[in-house]
Structure 1
Amino acid sequence: MPVIAVTGHLDLSPATARSVRRALDEFLAPYPAAELTGASCLAPGADSLFAEAVLARGGRLLAVLPGPGHPGPSATAAERTCFARLLAAAERVLTLPATVLDPAAYVAANEQLLRLADLLVAVWDGGAGNGPGGTADMVAAARAAGLPVHVLWPSGAARTGH
C-alpha cells in the first residue's frame, strides 16, 4: 500500500485552489480507500487540499509537523481551523522538535516525508522556488532520491504571491 506525500505552494488563488482540488481528486481516484495513505505537513494551500482529498476518499492521513509551533504565527484564523480539523483526523502525527519554524525545520519535515513516501505529488508551477524547504527544493530532493514525482499544476493556475 503506497504512501503518497505532498509538497506544493501555499499561495494558491481561490480559483486555483478549486482546480487543484479537482485535479487531486482525479489523481487519487484510482486508489481504493483501503490502499490510500497520504502524508502531509498540513500547511495551508496544497498540503491542506491534498489532506482533505485523501480524507474525502476514505484514506488514511499521516501528518508530519516541522515543529510544535506549526502552522506558525502568520496563519490566518481560517487556516488554523483547517489545520486543527485535519490534525484531528490524522491517523498518525509525527511532530519534529524544531523550536523555530525556519527553512531548516521545513527541510527536516520534507526529509521525513520523503522517508515515508513511495510517491510525491507536487502542486508546483515549476518555478525555482524560495530556497531550502520549499516546493522546488522538495521536488529536487525527491528526484535525487529516485522517488517518482507527479507534478500537478492545472492549466490557468495562479499564485497570489503572498
Structure 2
Amino acid sequence: MRIAISGHRGLPADTVRLVDDAIRAALAECDAGRLTGISCLADGADQIFARAVVDLGGALEVVVPARRYRDGLPAESHPEYDALLRRAVRVHRLDFVESTSESHMEAGRFMLDKADELYAVWDGKPARGYGGTADVVAEARARGLPVRVIWPEGARRD
C-alpha cells in the first residue's frame, strides 16, 4: 500500500496531537510491512504523517519539490525534516530550483503518480494558494485515486 500525504501546515499544537492520533489510527489499518508513505516533509501534516509511517515500521519515500525547498520551511521544522529525510528509503528530487506554488503542485502530482491512495489532512476549504491541499485533493479525485480526508473533531488552522 502506497499512501501519499497532502495537508495543512502551521497547525496549532492541540491540532497536531489530534491529527497525529487520527493518522496513526488510519495507518494502523495497513500492514506496516507493506506500507510506503510518500511525503514532501513540509512542516505540519507532511511531517506528522512521515513520522507516523516510520514509527509504525513502514517505508518512507520523500519528494523534494525544489533544490531550495528546505530553505522555505520554518527553521523550527528543519531538525525533523532532516531526521525524516535520513530515514527515507528513496528520495525523489524534482528539477525546480525555487520552492514555488508550481513546484509544490508538481510534487503533489508526482506523489499521486506513485500512490494507491491520498491522505488529506484538510479542513475542506479552498487552497490558500495554488498547489495547496485542496488542489492536490481535486487532482487525486479527477484521477479516480481514493482520498481519505483526515480532519478530526476539534481540529483548527491558524
* C-alpha distance in 2 between matches for 1:32 and 1:145: 25
Residue aligning to 1:106? 104
CA RMSD of aligned residues (A): 0.9
Output one character per residue of 1:13-62: Cα deviation in whole Å (capped at 9) or x when no partner.
10000110000110000212211110000000000000000001000000
Give the fraction of aligned pairs with identical amino acids, expressed as a percent. 43
Unaligned runs of 5+ in 1: none
After the TM superposition, which parts of structure 1 deviate over 3 Å for at least 4 consecutive aligned residues?
Answer: none
Question: Which residue number corresponds to residue 24 of structure 1?
Answer: 23
Counterpart in the other structure of 2:44: 45
TM-score w.r.t. the length of structure 2 is 0.97
- Segment drifting more, 46-55 vs 25-34: 25-34
Bigger mean CA deviation after superposition, 141-150 or 62-71: 62-71
2:67/2:99 contact within 8 Å kept: no
Question: Please, which runs of 5 or more residues in structure 2 have no aligned partner?
Answer: none
1:50-69 alignment runs, 5 A limit = 50-69=49-68
Aligned to 2:7: 8
Residue in structure 2 matching 1:96, options 94, 97, 116: 94
- Distance across 1 between alignment mates of 2:21 and 2:73: 27
How far residue 74 of structure 1 moved from its aligned partner, in angstroms, is 4.7
Task: Count residues with an aligned counterpart.
Answer: 158
One-letter identity of the residue aligned with 1:35? R
